[in-house]
Chain A
Amino acid sequence: MPLRHPSRTRRLLAATTGIVALGLLVAGCTPATSNKPVGEPKTGGTLTYASGDAEPTCLDPHVGGNFPQALVSAQYLESLVSRDSAGQIIPWLAESWTPSDDGLTWDFTLRSDVTFTDGTVFDASAVQANIAHLQDPTTLSSTGYLALGKVTGTEAVSPTVVRFTLSEPDSALLESLSQTWLAMESPTALKRSQDENCAAPVGTGPFLVESWVKQNAITLVRNDDYVSPPADADHAGPAYLDEVIWRFIPDSASRYAALQSGEVDVIDNAQPDTIVQAEQSDSIEHLDSPRPGSSNRIELNSGQAPFDDVRVREAFIHSANVDDAVSSLFQGTATRSYSALSSVESTAVSNPALFDYDPTAAATLLDAAGWSETDADGYRVKDGVRLSVEFPVSTNQSIPAEQSVFEQIQATAKETGFEVKLAPMDLSSWYAALASNDYNAVSAPYTKVGPDVLRILYHSDSIVPAPSGYFANLAQVNDPAIDELLTTAARTADAAERASLYADAQNRILEGFYILPLYDQQNHFLLRSDVVGLRTLPTVAVPTLYDAWLNR
């Protein structure tokens, strides 16, 4: 659930005690607007958004399908359904839906008053064209393609009713369709060449892509004919903002400086140090919106020594002092997780008792597992082999604070006798290390709406590498009982029964010590205080500027 932290008390504290000279200087130089009363929304103005993510190579999230694409395309594309902050699926472009009793066909009733921004009518055949586009190999879709794995076909029952046919029941179908990577695009626009469609996809959203100057900015302008906000939006009709400039500022410090100086109004990927600074500032607000799907966790490779022994996995978990590392290095901006799932997932199971920092217990477990001797460097040995943990770290995915957490874990695990070998590497090398099974521990977050992410991450099918060498079950969990629970849950429509199956599966995963949960996937936004009404979609936690307006 996205939380807004106005942190008024902290700001008051900062102002009265004058914490640091820098903070005061900043507060002195920038106009303090947060005290202005928030009245009726004002229409007009240009909002500048600065993303720290890589610039997408294609603005159509059907192609590939990554987070940077979702961030920007949520402004001009919309999905069939959405999710509210309580985790319930809510109407969007589809008004209602009914599965058949066997769960193999789903009828979606569509809104009849929606047109794409190129004038094409949104109807059943448009939905069909989108599903076909996502499933066409030449689209090169990855995320959307996977999410539609069980969909075998679509049929236009009437102009406003589209029927999905499935190969087997899919309890995650609605959650999958709610994701921005499966948003609806104009079938007319999809007929253009992929290059053209990548440069300016056409949707039904509150904004439309006016221009994209690569490596500089994407310009979005208001869709004046907009009628289709999701059921949980704050207002109806067109967006308030005239225009959105979407920039890419890769460097964290300059991104924050641009926000402080007012060059930009919103930044994403805010790092712990800047969040702490911002909370002392009068003119900047903080929006914390953890991503759905998995938590950030260290996966212990149970497919090979030494973590093929559950006692060694448990010993490692008890030898790592995660709490202290997280609280000191994230400076209070991240909350410790004890779950395989993100805290935004209502089906998440948390079990703090399993993840105590307990070096004594760890030592006993290692003794029992045969790692009883210690070499000259203080590391445990068994049959002349040192207790080493190869830990490749992606410097693209792990932010500096997280890399420091790993170093703290390395230091505390050493006291118990683990030699953790952290190997920072670029993204390609990191994936290659995983593909060649050269790892014992790894952190690889996975964003997906709903608990079905557990099937992707922990079903034994996911140990089989894709043609690219990628496999998602990096803990290499190979437990028929977990497989059975996850397969059944994915076919179970009843919400309570489904949640209970996922709870059982999570308990088995946690109790098998396959993972060491750290915190939710961090997703922090900082915005100028005069930006009002900005929220994130409770689906994939990307901001939507539809309700946003400028109080200036």
Chain B
Amino acid sequence: MFRVPVLQLLRRVLTRLAGAVFVLWMVASVTFFAVRLIPGDPAQAVLGGPGSQASPEALAAVNAQYGFDQPVIRQYFSQLGRLATGDLGRSYALNLDVGPLLLSQLGGTLLLAVVALALAWLLALALATWSTRSGRIASRVGSALEIVAAALPHFWLATSLIVVFSIWLGVLPPISTGGTLGLVLPVLTLAIPLAGFLGQIMRESLLRALESPFVLSARARGENERGVRWIHALRHASLPAISLSGWAFGSLISGAVVVETIFARPGLGRTLLNAVTLRDVPVVIGVVMIVAVAYILMTLLTDAVSRLVDPRLRLS
């Protein structure tokens, strides 16, 4: 009676783990070959960027040191071998080990993404509950706000926020080099479009939930309106938004590329952009691997949260 769920759980965990390893392998491979498709000589990345007029001796030294003179397939396997042991290699351009470099940049981006995700949830929840409760006009307004917010491009929103809050009002710094105040504009830039997106989904499922039989039966049991909304309907309505949060987290990290560049904020996104420009393959692969791991963990987390929130999932 007790053994079956444990075995099931073990099998589920193993399947997940195998899936995660497969995803990471594919991510590493695709990135390795995609960066290779950028024309140009990787040795130049080491020698001060593309177009450097490196001497033949310098190029030869670099090619030997980094193994660029090896066949591509051998470079691929040696890269993969290193990755398997957790060694992200050494940056071509920055003369630093990729692991410690990315670790030092990870905190800033995670902070940005987590705070933005939390704020997006708060905004979406507030908008969805307000607009479904306060009549048809509120519903229209809410819906319009969500669509506009979801459609805002990060670069436009970031620049507009800088103009309003840094230049006109002069209350927030336009660059984010540390301190809580500097976090406000980057977080808003990421959270507003995401809130629009999550809000749309939440409002629709909230409306659907309010019309479903279990709400009717809750009302029939004499539950008050607040209980109906917050305990029953919202719980149901938040499910699609929870599962989307895994995806949203990934999109926040890609949004970080734009936001970190505009607000001159240190982080993974900016590192990635620089690395792609410089053709710094180990750093590009490192960032992509970290994002992939974060994405996998986030998906696991949203699955677990969904199970907590929705008892039906636990039964199946």
Contact = CB atoms under 8 A, between A and B. Distances in A.
Contact of B55 (A137, A263, A396): A137
A140 B47 contact: yes
Interface in B225-277: 261-264, 266-267, 270-271, 274, 277
Contact of B263 (A214, A254, A430, A466): A254
Contact of A263 (B49, B57, B175, B278): B175
Interface string A460-484: 0000001111101000000000000
Given A29-B168, A215-B271, A251 B262 contact: yes
Interface in B30-58: 38-41, 43-44, 46-58
Interface string B274-303: 100111000000000000000000000000
A400 to B, nearest CB: 14
A65 interface: yes
Contacts of A139: 58
B218 interface: no
A396 B101 CA distance: 25
B294 to A, nearest CB: 19
A124 B299 CA distance: 64
A87 B177 CA distance: 40
A377 B118 CA distance: 56
Given A57-B278, A254-B263, A257-B166, A466 B39 contact: no
A470 B277 contact: no
A220 interface: no
Interface residues of B, number: 55
Interface string A410-447: 00000000000000001111111100000000000000
A142 B58 contact: yes
Contact of A198 (B62, B95, B263, B270): B95
A253 B264 contact: no
B101 A428 contact: no
Given A215-B270, A217-B177, A261-B170, A427 B53 contact: no
A132 B266 CA distance: 36
Interface string A145-185: 11000000000000000000000000000000000000000
B277 A426 contact: yes
Interface in B158-188: 158-159, 162-163, 166-168, 170, 173-175, 177-178
Contacts of B104: 214
A466 B54 contact: yes
Contacts of A258: 166, 173-175, 264
Contact of A142 (B48, B60, B170): B48
Given A426-B38, A468-B59, A216 B48 contact: no
B153 to A, nearest CB: 14
Given A57-B278, A141-B58, A428-B38, A248 B50 contact: no
A469 to B, nearest CB: 7
A223 to B, nearest CB: 25
B163 A247 contact: no
A138 B59 CA distance: 10
A469 B270 CA distance: 29
A212 B52 CA distance: 24
B154 to A, nearest CB: 12
B39 A143 contact: no
A140 B62 contact: yes
In this complex, the member of A198, A258, A432 whose beta carbon has the largest number of chain B beta carbons within 10 angstroms is A258
B119 to A, nearest CB: 21
Contact of B175 (A25, A254, A429, A430): A254
Nearest to A466: B53
A418 B59 CA distance: 39
Nearest to A429: B39
B94 A257 contact: no
A195 B105 contact: no
A249 interface: yes
A545 interface: no
Contact of A138 (B54, B61, B162, B261): B61
B38 A429 contact: yes
A142 B54 contact: yes
A399 interface: no
- CB-CB nearest 5 A-B residue pairs: A64-B48, A432-B39, A137-B57, A428-B40, A257-B174
Given A254-B162, A254-B174, A257-B166, 5 more contacts: A143-B53, A213-B266, A215-B274, A257-B163, A468-B54
